[in-house]
Chains A and B, each alone.
Chain A
Amino acid sequence: MKPARFDYIRAVDVAEAHAALAEFGNDARVLAGGQTLMPMLSMRLVRPKAVIDIMHVPTLRGIDAGGSDIRVGAGVRQAELLAWPALGEALPLLKAALPWVGHAQTRSRGTVCGSVAHADPSAEIPLCLLALDASIELSSRRGRRRVKAADFFTGMMTTARAENELIEAVHIPKMQQGAGYAFREFGRRHGDFAIVACAAIVTGTNVRFAVGGVADTPALRDFGAVDGTALADALDAFAWDLDARDDLHATARYRRELVRQMGRAVIEEARRCRG
Chain B
Amino acid sequence: MSKAVSVPSAQWCGQSVERVEDAALLTGRGRFIDDLGVKAGTLHAAILRSPHAHARIAAIRVQAARMLPGVAAVLTGAEVTELSASLVVGVKAPIECWPIAVDRVRYVGEPVAVVVASSRYVAEDALDLIEVDYETLPVVVDPVAALDPTAPVLHEGLKSNLASERLFRYGDPEKAFAEAAHRVSVTIRYPRNSCTPMETYGIVAEYDAAEDAYDVLANFMGPFSLHAVMARALKVPGNRFRLRTPPDSGGSFGVKQGVFPYIVLMGVAARATGRPVKWIEDRLEHLTASVSATNRVTTLDAAVDADGCVRALAWDQIEDVGAHIRAPEPATLYRMHGNLTGAYDIRHVSVRNRVVLTNKTPTGLNRGFGGPQVYYALERLMQRIAVELKLDPVEVIRRNLIPSGSFPYRTATGALLDSGDYVHAFETALRDGGFAELRERRTKARAEGRIYGIGLTAVVEPSVSNMGYITTVLSPEERRKAGPKNGAQATATVTLDPLGGVSVHVASVPQGQGHRTVLAQIVADELGLKPSDIRVVAELDTARDAWSIASGNYSSRFAAATGGAAKLAAEKIKAKLARMAASQLNVAADEIEFSGGRVCARGNPDNAIPFARLAATSHWSPGLVPEENQALRETVFWSPPELTPPTKDDEINSSLCHGFIFDFCGVEIDPVIGAVRIDKYITMHDCGRILHPGMVAGQVTGGFAHAVGAALYEEYAYAEDGSFLTGTFADYLVPTAMEVPEPVILHVETPSPFTPLGTKGVGEGNCMSTPVCIANAVADALGIASIDLPLTPAKIAGHIHGAESAPPPTRPAPVGGKGRTLRGAGEAQVNVPPETVWRMLLDPKTLEAIIPGAHGVTKISDTHFRAEVTLSVGPVTGRYKADIKLSDLHEPRAVTLTGVVTGALGNARGAGRVRLTAIETGTKVVYDYDAEIGGKVASIGGRLLDGAAKVVIKQFFAALVRQTGGKAEKRGFFGRLFGKGA
- In the bound assembly, the distance between CA atoms of A4 and B878 in angstroms comes to 13
B717 and A157 within 8 A (CB): no
- In the bound assembly, the distance between CA atoms of A45 and B876 in angstroms comes to 5
Does B814 reach chain A (CB closer than 8 Å)?
Answer: yes
Does A44 reach chain B (CB closer than 8 Å)?
Answer: yes
Which one of A190, A254, A262 has the greatest number of beta carbons of chain B within 10 Å?
Answer: A254
Q: Which of B282, B739, B904, B940 contacts A189 (CB 8 A)?
A: B739
B124 and A29 within 8 A (CB): no
| Interface bits A257-271 vs B (CB < 8 Å: 1, else 0) | 110011001000000
**Known interface pairs A2-B121, A45-B876, A189-B739. Does A156 touch B283 (Cβ–Cβ under 8 Å)?**
no
- In the bound assembly, the distance between CA atoms of A215 and B981 in angstroms comes to 8
Q: Which of A246, A249, A252 contacts B792 (CB 8 A)?
A: A249
| Interface bits A234-274 vs B (CB < 8 Å: 1, else 0) | 00111011111111111111101110011001000000000
Q: Which of A4, A221, A243 contacts B979 (CB 8 A)?
A: A243
Among residues of B, the one whose C-beta sits closest to the C-beta of A239 is B805
- In the bound assembly, the distance between CA atoms of A23 and B673 in angstroms comes to 49
Does B32 reach chain A (CB closer than 8 Å)?
Answer: no
Does A147 reach chain B (CB closer than 8 Å)?
Answer: no
B979 and A215 within 8 A (CB): yes
Q: Which of B804, B877, B979 contacts A253 (CB 8 A)?
A: B804
Does A193 reach chain B (CB closer than 8 Å)?
Answer: yes
**Which residues of the partner chain A approach B738 to less than 8 Å between Cβ atoms?**
189-190
Give chain A nearest CB distance to B853 CB in angstroms: 11
Q: Which of B35-43, B397-405, B477-485, B725-733 contacts A (4 or more CB under 8 A)?
A: B725-733
Q: Which of A156, A193, A242, A252 contacts B816 (CB 8 A)?
A: A252
- In the bound assembly, the distance between CA atoms of A190 and B738 in angstroms comes to 8
B874 and A156 within 8 A (CB): yes
Among residues of B, the one whose C-beta sits closest to the C-beta of A219 is B981
B875 and A155 within 8 A (CB): no
- In the bound assembly, the distance between CA atoms of A236 and B736 in angstroms comes to 34
Give chain A nearest CB distance to B610 CB in angstroms: 52
Does A158 reach chain B (CB closer than 8 Å)?
Answer: yes
A250 and B981 within 8 A (CB): no
Give chain A nearest CB distance to B839 CB in angstroms: 29
A156 and B948 within 8 A (CB): yes
Q: How many positions in chain B have a CB within 8 Å of any CB in the partner chain?
A: 64
Residues in A113-137 with C-beta less than 8 Å from chain B: 118-122
**Which residues of the partner chain A approach B875 to less than 8 Å between Cβ atoms?**
29, 37, 40, 45-46, 118, 157
A44 and B120 within 8 A (CB): no
Give chain B nearest CB distance to A10 CB in angstroms: 20
- In the bound assembly, the distance between CA atoms of A258 and B672 in angstroms comes to 7
A189 and B713 within 8 A (CB): yes
B980 and A219 within 8 A (CB): yes
- In the bound assembly, the distance between CA atoms of A220 and B798 in angstroms comes to 27
| Interface bits A92-107 vs B (CB < 8 Å: 1, else 0) | 0000000000000000
- In the bound assembly, the distance between CA atoms of A205 and B120 in angstroms comes to 61
| Interface bits B910-954 vs A (CB < 8 Å: 1, else 0) | 000000000000000000000000001100111110111011001
- In the bound assembly, the distance between CA atoms of A192 and B712 in angstroms comes to 15
Does A188 reach chain B (CB closer than 8 Å)?
Answer: yes
- In the bound assembly, the distance between CA atoms of A47 and B792 in angstroms comes to 35
- In the bound assembly, the distance between CA atoms of A139 and B940 in angstroms comes to 33
Among residues of A, the one whose C-beta sits closest to the C-beta of B904 is A44
A189 and B873 within 8 A (CB): no
- In the bound assembly, the distance between CA atoms of A37 and B877 in angstroms comes to 13
Residues in A203-236 with C-beta less than 8 Å from chain B: 215-217, 219-221, 236
Q: Which of A43, A158, A190, A262 contacts B873 (CB 8 A)?
A: A158
**Which residues of the partner chain B approach A155 to less than 8 Å between Cβ atoms?**
947, 950-951, 954, 978
Give chain A nearest CB distance to B407 CB in angstroms: 42
Among residues of A, the one whose C-beta sits closest to the C-beta of B804 is A253
**Known interface pairs A118-B874, A121-B944, A155-B978. Does A236 touch B805 (Cβ–Cβ under 8 Å)?**
yes
**Which residues of the partner chain A approach B735 to less than 8 Å between Cβ atoms?**
189
| Interface bits B723-753 vs A (CB < 8 Å: 1, else 0) | 0011000110101101100000000000000
**Which residues of the partner chain B approach A142 to less than 8 Å between Cβ atoms?**
none
- In the bound assembly, the distance between CA atoms of A47 and B905 in angstroms comes to 11
Q: Which of A43, A216, A238, A257 contacts B980 (CB 8 A)?
A: A216
A248 and B943 within 8 A (CB): yes
Does A26 reach chain B (CB closer than 8 Å)?
Answer: yes
Does B641 reach chain A (CB closer than 8 Å)?
Answer: no
**Which residues of the partner chain B approach A238 to less than 8 Å between Cβ atoms?**
981
- In the bound assembly, the distance between CA atoms of A118 and B816 in angstroms comes to 27
Does B794 reach chain A (CB closer than 8 Å)?
Answer: yes
| Interface bits A155-175 vs B (CB < 8 Å: 1, else 0) | 111100000000000000000
Among residues of B, the one whose C-beta sits closest to the C-beta of A254 is B794
Does B81 reach chain A (CB closer than 8 Å)?
Answer: no
**Known interface pairs A43-B940, A258-B672. Does A246 touch B816 (Cβ–Cβ under 8 Å)?**
yes
Residues in B950-974 with C-beta less than 8 Å from chain A: 950-951, 954, 974
B673 and A258 within 8 A (CB): yes
- In the bound assembly, the distance between CA atoms of A216 and B982 in angstroms comes to 12
- In the bound assembly, the distance between CA atoms of A43 and B121 in angstroms comes to 12
Give chain B nearest CB distance to A103 CB in angstroms: 9
B873 and A237 within 8 A (CB): no
- In the bound assembly, the distance between CA atoms of A262 and B670 in angstroms comes to 12
- In the bound assembly, the distance between CA atoms of A256 and B798 in angstroms comes to 12
Among residues of B, the one whose C-beta sits closest to the C-beta of A47 is B877
Does B807 reach chain A (CB closer than 8 Å)?
Answer: yes
Residues in B792-849 with C-beta less than 8 Å from chain A: 792-794, 797-798, 801, 804-805, 807-808, 811, 814, 816-817
Q: Which of A5, A156, A188 contacts B713 (CB 8 A)?
A: A188
**Known interface pairs A240-B811, A258-B672. Does A250 touch B793 (Cβ–Cβ under 8 Å)?**
yes
Q: Which of B284, B804, B872, B950 contacts A216 (CB 8 A)?
A: B950
Interface on B for A, CB 8 Å cutoff?
A: 120-121, 124-125, 128, 282-284, 672-675, 713, 717, 725-726, 730-731, 733, 735-736, 738-739, 792-794, 797-798, 801, 804-805, 807-808, 811, 814, 816-817, 872-878, 904-905, 936-937, 940-944, 946-948, 950-951, 954, 974, 978-981
Please name the 8 residue pairs, one residue from A and one from B, whose CB atoms are nearest each other, closest first.
A157-B874, A156-B947, A243-B979, A1-B282, A216-B947, A254-B794, A250-B794, A241-B981
List 19 extra interface pairs beyond A44-B124, A249-B943, CB under 8 A.
A1-B283, A2-B120, A4-B125, A26-B872, A43-B940, A44-B128, A121-B944, A154-B974, A155-B951, A155-B978, A156-B950, A189-B713, A240-B811, A245-B946, A248-B943, A250-B794, A251-B798, A254-B797, A254-B798
Q: Could you give 25 example pairs across A and B, Cβ below 8 Å?
A: A2-B120, A40-B875, A40-B876, A43-B940, A45-B936, A45-B940, A118-B874, A154-B974, A156-B874, A156-B947, A156-B951, A157-B874, A157-B951, A188-B733, A188-B793, A189-B713, A189-B733, A216-B946, A216-B950, A240-B807, A240-B811, A249-B943, A252-B814, A257-B672, A257-B804
